Amino acid sequence: MSDVSPWVILIASIFTSNILLTNFLGMCSFLACSRQVGTAIGLGTAVIFVMVCTTAINWCIYTHVLLPLGIEHLWFIVAIAVIAAFVQFVEMFVERFSPRLYHALGIFLPLITVNCAILGASLLMITRHYNFLQSTAFGFGGGLGWMLAIVLIAGLRQKMTYSDVPKPFKGVAIVMIITGIMAMIFMGFAGMAKI
């Protein structure tokens, strides 16, 4: 069992061990939905919600059902099933209360199901032996960190519309380079807290 305080995990997973910038998880929707800050915030919020709920539920299922019954081999299937169901729920929720966001996110809303950051959070919390509070803090911090990264890049990309990017770097290429530089900056603080 890890004995790091949930607060430390929360802060660390936002800044120093950002799931997107240090583990490079959840890159596809990060690249696709980061053209506008508004959309990025919307997707980020959805990811936070799904990540918190799924880490909490998945932790309970793993610790109280799979472990006692000795069927940990089901872990991947169970984790992804819970995630898929939750994404469906979020999809309905967003469609009902924010149709504009629903259409702006388009295919990437249901694709949160296969956003590897979400599954990654669920899997990492088990390999790191977190308890319930730590897992939830990790889920929340991970989601917040993911949102931070996508909102930052969306802001940069919005500004970049007016800059003269050399032809070979146009589009995704320059975004990957910026992401790399951002990741280096975030990694500069990686040693501060070990989670």
Partner 1 sequence: MVFFWSILVLVLLVVGLAVLLTVAESVLINYGICTIDVNAGERSLEVEGGQSLLSGLIESKIFIPSACGGRGTCGFCKIEILSGGGPMLPTETPFISRSERRDGVRLACQVKIREDINVRIPEELLNVKLFTSTVKSTTTLTGDIKEIRFSLIEPAEILSRPGQYVQVQAPSPDGPVFRAYSISSATYETNEVELVVRLIPGGVGSTYLHNLEVGDTVEFTGPYGEFIFDEDPETELICVGGGAGMAPMKNIIFSMYEQQPDRTCWLFFGCRAKADIFYLEMYEELARKHPNFHVIYGLSEPKDDDDWTGETGFIHLSLDKMIEPDGGKRQAFLCGPPPMIDAVTQVLQAKGLEDNRIFYDEF
Tally of CA atoms within 13 A in the half-sphere of 168 that contains its CB? 0
Amino acid at 139: G
Q: How far apart are CA 132 and CA 134, in angstroms?
A: 5
Alpha-carbon distances of 36 from 137, 154, 187, rounded to whole Å: 28, 5, 25
Give least dist CB 1 to partner 1, A: 24
Contact region with partner 1 (CB under 8 A), list: 12-20, 65-73, 121-129, 157-165:
65-73
Closest CA relative to residue 41, chosen from 81, 100, 82: 100
1 near partner 1, rule: CB under 8 A:
no
The distance of closest approach from Cβ of residue 182 to partner 1 in the complex, given in angstroms and rounded to an integer, is 27
Min. distance of Cβ 96 from partner 1 in angstroms? Answer: 5
The verdict on 10 binding partner 1 (CB under 8 A) reads no
For CA atoms 7, 9, 14, 16, the dihedral sign is positive
| Residue list 79-138, contact with partner 1 (CB under 8 A) | 81-82, 85, 88-89, 92-93, 95-96, 99-100, 103-104
Positions in the binding site for partner 1 (CB under 8 A):
61, 65-66, 69-71, 73-74, 77-78, 81-82, 85, 88-89, 92-93, 95-96, 99-100, 103-104
